A and B are shown apart, each in its own frame.
Chain A
Amino acid sequence: MTFLSALLAADTAKAAAPAAGSSGPLGDIIKLFGDFGVDGPHLLVQVINFAILAFVLYKFAIKPALGQLEERIRQAEQLQKDRAAAEAQLASAQKTAEAQLVAASDEAAKILADARNSAKAAIEAARAEAQAAQTEVIAKAKAAIEADRVKMMNEVRGEVSRLVVETAAKVLEQNLDDAQRGRLNEAAVKQLAR
């Protein structure tokens, strides 16, 4: 501040001398500026101050702010890109999901149809098996009944035959006399001789 004050004082003293002795349009202009309080040294100091201020502002305020702004812009652009990519990915995922859903639906329908067909086939097979088993059981029962019937008939026939023969033997034993038996013996002897 001391240096600036001294410089201003020197410049003011030096400017006062030529201004007093000069004339013409330039002098008028200078005088006019002087009347308005604008003189060279002050202007120079102001310019220097402004330059320093501008430099400081640029260095520590504007430049970081611009950097941040650019970073924000870059981030916004990146965000925009990410968003677009996410939207595209989302659309793709939705499309994939829809396709998978359709495929799953088709698959489910196919499985359901297969299951129905399998169930129908199983029911038909079980029905056929039951029918076959029923037929077999009936056939076996018929065969067993027939076998029992034949067996009973044979037993009855044998029993009747046995009773008939026993009765005939008893009747013959009681009714045959010696003469008849003698004739039978003679017939047997003749049969033996033949």
Chain B
Amino acid sequence: MSAASVRAEAKRLLAMSLEGGVVSADLVGAVLAALTKSRASHQLRPLLRAYLANVRRELARGEARIEHAGPLAAADADAIAAHFSKVLGRTVRPVARRNDALLGGFRVRVGDDVTDLTASLRLANLAKSLS
């Protein structure tokens, strides 16, 4: 299989794994079971790798990964997730992780989009503007 056909097949498998626009664990399990039965091992490896990357990307698209300094109230995390759900037009759930090196504020990653409202970024921008 060529790389292009592998990518196309992985994309098709990802579409089969979605339920209501969200990755379903049951559907993923069914897809993997069908693949192991129908494909030879030498064809399966690159296809599974591409399928895994697609699933990860899709899961990341549904998560708002929030890095924050200091405590972040659950209500604030939900408010952040609601904001991105509204902006992106799909349901996004919050995943928070504390990182005090950010000094203050938070950085949110949804898929490939990053929104940075941290004090460390402001200080870095200040240093850049001064130099």
Where the two chains meet, the residues of A that have a C-beta atom closer than 8 Å to any C-beta of B are: 154, 157-158, 160-162, 164-165, 168-169, 172-173, 176, 178, 180-182, 184-189, 191-193
The complex places the Cα of A25 from the Cα of B69 at a distance, in Å, of 199
**B131 A157 Cβ-Cβ under 8 A:** yes
The complex places the Cα of A186 from the Cα of B100 at a distance, in Å, of 15
**B103 A176 Cβ-Cβ under 8 A:** yes
**B68 A185 Cβ-Cβ under 8 A:** yes
Knowing A162-B127, A165-B126, A169-B120, the reply to whether A182 touches B100 (Cβ < 8 A) is no
Where the two chains meet, the residues of B that have a C-beta atom closer than 8 Å to any C-beta of A are: 68-73, 76, 79-80, 83, 100-101, 103-106, 115, 117-120, 123-124, 126-127, 130-131
**A181 B123 Cβ-Cβ under 8 A:** no
Residues on the B chain within 8 Å of A169, using CB: 103, 120, 123
Would you mind naming 22 contact pairs between A and B with Cβ atoms under 8 Å apart? A154-B131, A157-B131, A161-B127, A165-B124, A165-B130, A169-B123, A172-B119, A173-B101, A176-B104, A178-B71, A180-B70, A182-B72, A182-B73, A184-B70, A185-B71, A185-B106, A187-B105, A188-B104, A188-B105, A189-B79, A193-B79, A193-B83
Contact of B105 among A160, A161, A164, A184 (CB under 8 A): A184
Residues on the A chain within 8 Å of B120, using CB: 169
The complex places the Cα of A192 from the Cα of B76 at a distance, in Å, of 11
What does DSSP make chain A's interface, helix, strand, loop or mixed? Answer: helix
Contact of A181 among B71, B83, B126 (CB under 8 A): B71
Knowing A154-B131, A185-B70, the reply to whether A191 touches B117 (Cβ < 8 A) is yes
Residues on the B chain within 8 Å of A188, using CB: 104-106, 117-118
The complex places the Cα of A158 from the Cα of B120 at a distance, in Å, of 17
Residues on the B chain within 8 Å of A191, using CB: 117
The complex places the Cα of A162 from the Cα of B71 at a distance, in Å, of 28
The complex places the Cα of A184 from the Cα of B73 at a distance, in Å, of 12
Residues on the A chain within 8 Å of B127, using CB: 158, 161-162, 164-165
Please name the 9 residue pairs, one residue from A and one from B, whose CB atoms are nearest each other, closest first. A181-B70, A158-B131, A184-B104, A161-B130, A165-B127, A188-B105, A188-B117, A161-B127, A161-B131
